Chain A
Amino acid sequence: MKRTSSETVVIPCSGIGKPFGSVSREAAYDVVETLRPASTRLVALSRLVLGDEDAREAVVSRPVVTIDGCKLACAAKMARAGGAREVRELAVIDTFRRHPKLKPEGIGELNDAGRQLARALAEEVAEIVDEHVGREGSDA
């Protein structure tokens, strides 16, 4: 697939110990596979940790949305450490506060509420992606 600098890079949390980490990944997949597949790209946090050249190039040259599962905000910190210049930092907890009935449970497999929370978060990411796409269009 051809990659362009107008794509938004989405980086979810890599945490495996809590449901909020799973929500961050599910939301990222919702965005890149379902909601905005043509204008987004997923980058694995572990590749940034390693200093993988392709991953670093992606975050340096494109707008980035990070989705963190806890207050340690590894995804946001790693994106900035990797050289990202434009980072929008989202946290699952903030979306959960807006949707308190959607309490996520399960780690390997989220419950229905967790998947709904992920979709709500994904829609927030999609709005940001649309802002980037609109800006690119107006810059052209």
Chain B
Amino acid sequence: MPELPRRKVGIVACSGEEIAEGTVTRLAALRVLHDLRPEDTVTICLPLFLAGGEGDRAFARVYPTVTIDGCEKRCAAHGTATYSAPPAGSLVVSELAAGCGLGPIEGRRRLNDAGRQAVEATAERAVALVDELLKVPRARRFTATLPSAGP
């Protein structure tokens, strides 16, 4: 019997370079990709959706994605939906941090303590979404109701 490709979840971070929450999105995505769920996730570069990354667009049309945004603009979620398919799960760091009672996140080059805690909280929430998605049967995956980004 042929071996089917392993199901994976695409992680799309907004990367928002202008704000410290954007740094949180990058580091949280890396934490999931490298440490927490390396076998189950791949990264998708958001700007590649528009800059000609057909492979990335195709992946996100077929496989579920989790977007991690730094602020309420939700660039990653909107960009993914616009250029590929609606994300199966989405997180917003500013909302998640507020829900966790974390102090102001500062230091877009070097995060403060609140920022580092937000990285861990965001990564944990992303992992929960990934695990949930990989449990859902293929036909239902895109319509599954996912946990909110709240605490």
| Chain A residues at the B interface, C-beta cutoff of 8 Å | 12-17, 25-26, 28-29, 33, 42-50, 52, 72-75, 77-78, 81, 107-108
Contact = CB atoms under 8 A, between A and B. Distances in A.
Interface in B18-45: 18-19, 22, 26-27, 29-30, 43, 45
B18 A44 contact: yes
Interface string B81-114: 0000000000000000000000000001100000
Contact of A16 (B15, B18, B73, B78): B15
A17 B43 contact: yes
Given A12-B17, A14-B46, 16 more contacts: A14-B17, A14-B47, A16-B15, A25-B17, A29-B108, A42-B18, A44-B17, A46-B22, A46-B75, A47-B73, A49-B47, A49-B75, A72-B53, A74-B45, A77-B47, A108-B26
Contact of B52 (A12, A14, A72): A72
Contacts of B26: 16, 108
